[in-house]
Amino acid sequence: MKKQVLTATTAIVLGTTLFAGAASAQSVKVKKGDTLWGFSKKYGTTVGKIKKENKLTSDIIYIGQTLSINGSSSTSSKASQSSSSTYKVVRGDSLWKISRSYNMTVNELKKLNGLKTDLIRIGQVLKVKGTSSVKAASTNTGSSTTSSSSANTSSKLNTSKLISDAQALIGTPYKWGGTTTSGFDCSGFIWYLLNKQTNVARTNTVGYWNSMTSVSSPAVGDFVFFTTYQAGPSHMGVYIGNNKFIHAGSDGVTTSDMTNSYWKPRYLGAKRF
């Protein structure tokens, strides 16, 4: 019976069926649709190595032909997908967003990483399962991607909306780690406001300090930072002009004066999103 000849061009559009053989080398019986290129990808080797191992002078292979392939066989794609890998948090991430990308639930992601809250920070490395169905954002972790020339053009935030949203929350009680209208801490308050216009990761005051652009003096809609219970940036709020800022303090969401005897000596600087 006449042999059926498969070329790399015609066989590439057809399916592949492989039979694994000895442990030291894969003994593969060629089936309809197989190509040397397909075998090289499947077994972690190259077309040149397969040809050399089998003394082939061309890329032509035949149905029923047995090839010896030395390589690392990808015997189970499912096992590979289910194994744990890692993901580095970038600006704009949230547990919900990451969990969706990896076909997980937020609770599964938290359990895998031993997280007690939904707080994550830019640059944090999380364990994930499977392969992401969404391409990771090309973001320089921990650094700002905006220009400091103009609040409205660089941040793309509607500062009027930012201020009105903040003012509407005045009186909301303080809650450590809080990110909802049932209670906020200072960084949770900022996270809530920003996510009304964009999508940012839940981080702490230090995270916002490190990811925003410094400005010499605050403009309306910028963020002002203070050192309070610990050295470095540990408190922040939204600047609304006339030395006033809105923040979630120990008395809840309120407006304070940056020049008063408490805040003035604790002021660290202003940043722009």
**pLDDT tens-digit series, residues 173-198:** 999 999 999 999 999 999 999 999 98
235 is catalytic: yes
User: Phi and psi dihedrals of 70, rounded to 5?
Assistant: -95, 115
Count CA atoms within 13 Å of residue 119 on its CB side: 17
Query: Which among 247, 263, 271, 273 is annotated as catalytic?
Result: 247
CB count within 10 Å of CB 225 equals 24
Both tokens assigned to 158: 């509607």
Distance (Å, rounded) from C-alpha 146 to C-alpha 164? 23
Q: What pLDDT does residue 190 have?
A: 95
247 is catalytic: yes
Query: Which among 18, 61, 166, 186 is annotated as catalytic?
Result: 186
Q: Which of the four pLDDT bands, split at 50, 70 and 90, describes residue 114?
A: confident
Residue 82 in this model has a pLDDT that exceeds 70:
no
What is the rounded (10 degree) CA torsion for 97, 102, 106, 112? -130
Distance (Å, rounded) from C-alpha 237 to C-alpha 173? 15
pTM of the predicted model over 0.85: no
Both tokens assigned to 9: 């061009």
Higher pLDDT pick, 64 / 9: 64
**Contact indicator for 191, 223 with CB cutoff of 8 Å:** no
**Structural domains in the chain?**
5-69 (3.10.350.10), 77-129 (3.10.350.10), 151-272 (3.90.1720.10)
pLDDT tens track for 131-187:
544 433 333 333 333 333 333 333 478 999 999 999 999 999 999 999 999 999 999
pLDDT tens track for 14-54:
333 333 333 356 788 888 777 777 777 777 777 788 888 88
**Burial label, 202 (beta-carbon count in 10 A; 0-12, 13-18, 19+):** buried
| Most confident option among 55-59, 142-146, 154-158, 222-226 | 222-226
Higher pLDDT pick, 102 / 255: 255
Residue 64 in this model has a pLDDT that exceeds 60:
yes
Query: Which among 91, 110, 235, 271 is annotated as catalytic?
Result: 235
- Mean pLDDT, the chain, integer: 76
Instruction: Please give the single-letter amino acid code of residue 116.
Output: K
Residue 6 in this model has a pLDDT that exceeds 60:
no
Higher pLDDT pick, 238 / 30: 238
